[in-house]
Amino acid sequence: MQHREESINKDNNLTAKLNDSSLKSGVKDALPIILGYLPIGIAYGMLAVNKGLTPLQTTAMSAFVFAGSAQLVSIEMIAAGAAVAAIVFMTFLVNLRHLLLSASLSLHLRNLPLYYYPFLGFLITDESFAVAMSKIESQKNKQRYFLGLGFTAYLGWVFSSAIGAFLTEFIDLGSGGALDFVLPAMFVVLLVMQISSRSEIIAAIFSAFASLFLALTINGSWNIILATVLAAFLGVYIDGNS
Amino acid sequence: MEIVKFMLMIVGMVLVTFIPRFLPLALLGKKELPEKVVLWLSFIPAAVLAALLAPSILLKNGSLYLSLENTSLIAFFPTLLAAYKTKNIFYTVSGGLIFYLLISFLF
């Protein structure tokens, strides 16, 4: 009897160790993500302060929203004097891709206690998703791995935006110049990473031209929303006919 | 930005960002979305990024800016190549900034 208890204890200890190693490898795998967030977060922080947010507001947005491209887009829209509803709707569209990331990730994170999901969900980004998809399969405790990965990346994002925002108080780089190219460059690489089929290329090209055309003909930022929705229908149509 | 407007914006942004991240993860263990919806959704990322990208490099003050002096437009081409070759956000964004700076010196 005593012997059996001992062996159970041993098993529990072993499991605890394995759990810990999952968390730790998650934290370790987040380091390259932080390296990537650093310049983008700093650029976001500087742009946001230059376009009229306070450093505290800039950091708060990173802490609550945690979505780089949507945050950069919202900064541009704030500077252009867009309505709150338009900014929120645009954020929704830009972040709708998380629906797909979350759906793919759900295959690896099934049947967990419910309280895990808000945390795991909040931590889904393009980067944490990409790393998790290549590494999560070999982890003993997948949820702890993803928490370690996502939360470390999250801290990296909040800190790098804070650095950019508070630095601007001391060193004013002004707006314009190379910083303005951070966002287009990020769109380019996210776009290239998203595209995996011919119909997606056609939808993207259509969307680009539609967005340009609508920007030249209607007011506000609705060109992006309209172009996106139309292009997605075109994509479905092409896929159905090929 | 006024504080009330800012708070409204943040609350809205948090909701529309959190829900698409959280719902599929919490619910899809049990059932799947309709196939057509998944297909439509699969085009959204590429479509929205292209729709954002084109005006960001081709428009200036609301009109077309097709010129060799449009640094963003010229820098777009080497940046696209870097994105295609590396498929890495960090390399592409830092490469893009370097291309942008080089081009603004050259032209």
CA distance B92 to B96: 6
Lowest mean pLDDT among A1-15, A50-64, B42-56: A1-15
pLDDT at B64: 92
At A60-78, the pLDDT tens digits run 999 999 998 899 889 988 9
Q: Which of A189, A199, A201 minimises the CB distance to B89?
A: A189
pLDDT at A6: 52
Residue with tokens 């060109």: A223
CA distance A63 to A115: 20
Is B100 in contact with A87 (Cβ distance < 8 A)?
Answer: no
Is A40 in contact with B89 (Cβ distance < 8 A)?
Answer: yes
pLDDT at B19: 96
pLDDT at A173: 61
Look over chain A and give the mean of its residue pLDDT values, rounded to a whole number: 86
Q: Which residue of chain B comes nearest to A223, CA vs CA?
A: B51
Show Cβ contacts of residue A70 under 8 Å, excluding neighbours closer than 6 positions. Answer: A90, A91, A94, A95, B13, B17
ipTM entry? 0.85
Distance from CA of B68 to the nearest CA of A (A): 16
CA distance A144 to A127: 17
- Helix H, strand E, coil C: the string for chain A is CHHHHHHHHHHHHHHHHHHHHHHHHHHHHCHHHHHHHHHHHHHHHHHHHHCCCCHHHHHHHHHHCCCHHHHHHHHHHHHCCCCHHHHHHHHHHHHCHHHHHHHHHCCCCCCCCCCHHHHHHHCCCHHHHHHHHHHHHHCCCHHHHHHHHHHHHHHHHHHHHHHHHHHHHHCCCCCCHHHHHHHHHHHHHHHHHHCCCHHHHHHHHHHHHHHHHHHHHCCCCHHHHHHHHHHHHHHHHHHHCC
Has residue A4 got a pLDDT over 60?
no
CA distance A107 to A102: 9
Q: Which of A91, A122, A188 minimises the CB distance to B16?
A: A91
Q: Which of B53, B71, B75 minimises the CB distance to A191?
A: B53
Contacts of A127 in chain B (CB under 8 A): 89
pLDDT at B71: 94
At A141-196, the pLDDT tens digits run 999 999 999 999 999 999 999 999 999 877 766 555 777 788 789 889 889 988 98
Q: Which residue of chain B comes nearest to A201, CA vs CA?
A: B46
At A175-184, the pLDDT tens digits run 557 777 887 8
pTM: predicted TM-score of the whole model, two decimal places: 0.75
CA distance A194 to A199: 12
Domain ranges (residues) in chain A: 2-179, 195-242
Percent of chain B residues topping a pLDDT of 70:
95
Distance from CA of A172 to the nearest CA of B (A): 18
Residue with tokens 């399969």: A137
CB atoms within 10 A of CB A239: 19
Helix (H) or strand (E) holding B10: helix B3-27
CA distance A105 to A97: 13
